[in-house]
């Protein structure tokens, strides 16, 4: 790649590692790709497991017709509560590392959703949206970052994700004319992770290939935001010993039943739990 020097530049950002580079690209463009993070064997296992969890969730509500009726077909919600492999994926060091780099150390997993994009089937995600829906304002610091794990090649043919670059910096959705001019499809090979600011407008493409395109999206936010579903309740287990993991999964931030339990939880989080009369 040819590089060019600068003139008249007095200040420039310097990055020391992959996390810093990804965070900078998200801040400037709204999205970034970390290529081929997962090996092919791991990707194949996740594909099988995602399909199996979807079948379980479909049966839970009475069949595919119910999911069609509520426009939720081919969405796998909170798979980490059904299969430990997805919990491990949510805790992947790159996903958590990028989220902490962008948002700071206090983060919470707002949702984990699998998306099954079948050939020539248009999904709800094919419409422009933000992962923080219905918001028409922007903040001085990012509120949430999404980490979309690509289990197939994300390309124009398979219906890969399309972005409006830098749209996380503007409160309103742009005009149709500007959308047509600036929309950008992002290619990501199987096993890659597509990171983006959750306020960036994006959409899925239409899968025109002859195979299913699968992905698993994680939306990670600051703790002022609530989880889509109660992940600690769905996991039905004690909080992890690791304080970072406990906070990330929601054990630290979710509401408690009453004041007494709030205080007891706060006491348990102290470095040395002591009481005084």
The per-residue pLDDT for range 8-30, each reduced to its tens digit, is 999 999 998 999 999 999 999 99
Arithmetic mean of pLDDT over the chain = 92
Residue 269: per-residue pLDDT: 76
The per-residue pLDDT for range 242-258, each reduced to its tens digit, is 989 999 999 988 888 88
Residue 223: per-residue pLDDT: 94
The per-residue pLDDT for range 204-232, each reduced to its tens digit, is 988 999 999 999 999 999 999 999 999 99
Residue 4: per-residue pLDDT: 86
Q: Which range among 52-61, 112-121, 151-160, 258-267 shows the weakest confidence by mean pLDDT? A: 258-267
Res. 201: pLDDT tops 80: yes
The 3-class secondary structure across 14-63, one letter per residue, is: CCCCHHHHHHHHHHHHCEEEECCCCCHHHHHHHHHHHHHHHHHHHHHHCC
Residue 277: per-residue pLDDT: 45
The pTM of the full predicted model, rounded to 2 decimals, is 0.92
Distance CA 148, CA 216 (A): 6
Average pLDDT over residues 148-176: 96
Residues with Cβ < 8 Å from 54, sequence gap 6 or more?
A: 74, 76, 114, 116
Average pLDDT over residues 76-95: 97
Residue 273: per-residue pLDDT: 47
Residue 219: per-residue pLDDT: 98
Average pLDDT over residues 164-188: 97
The per-residue pLDDT for range 124-140, each reduced to its tens digit, is 778 999 999 999 999 99
Average pLDDT over residues 258-268: 84
* Domains defined along the chain, listed by start: 18-268 (2.60.120.620)
pLDDT band at 1 (very low <50, low <70, confident <90, very high): low
């Amino acid at each position: 790649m040819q590089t060019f020097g600068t003139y008249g530049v007095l200040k420039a950002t310097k990055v020391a590692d992959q996390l810093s580079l990804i965070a900078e690209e998200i801040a400037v463009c709204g999205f970034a790709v970390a290529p081929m993070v997962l090996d092919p064997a791991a990707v194949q296992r996740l594909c099988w497991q995602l399909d199996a969890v979807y079948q379980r969730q479909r049966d839970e509500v009475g069949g595919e017709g119910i999911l069609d009726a509520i426009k939720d077909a081919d969405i796998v919600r909170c798979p980490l509560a059904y299969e430990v492999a997805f919990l491990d994926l949510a805790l992947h060091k790159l996903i958590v590392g990028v989220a902490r780099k962008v948002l700071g150390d206090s983060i919470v997993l707002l949702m984990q959703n699998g998306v099954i994009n079948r050939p020539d089937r248009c999904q709800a995600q094919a419409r422009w949206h933000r992962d923080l829906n219905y918001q028409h304002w922007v903040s001085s610091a990012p509120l949430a970052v999404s980490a979309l794990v690509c289990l197939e090649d994300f390309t124009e043919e398979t219906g890969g994700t399309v972005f409006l670059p830098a749209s996380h910096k503007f409160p309103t959705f742009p005009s149709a004319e500007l959308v047509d001019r600036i929309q950008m499809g992002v290619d990501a090979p199987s096993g890659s992770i597509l990171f983006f600011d959750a306020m960036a407008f994006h959409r899925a493409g239409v899968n025109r290939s002859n195979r299913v395109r699968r992905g698993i999206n994680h939306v990670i936010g600051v703790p002022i935001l609530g989880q889509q579903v109660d992940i600690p309740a769905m996991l039905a287990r004690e909080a992890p010993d690791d304080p970072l993991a406990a906070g990330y999964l929601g054990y630290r931030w979710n509401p408690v039943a009453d004041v007494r339990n709030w205080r007891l939880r706060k006491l348990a989080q102290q470095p040395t739990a002591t009481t005084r009369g």
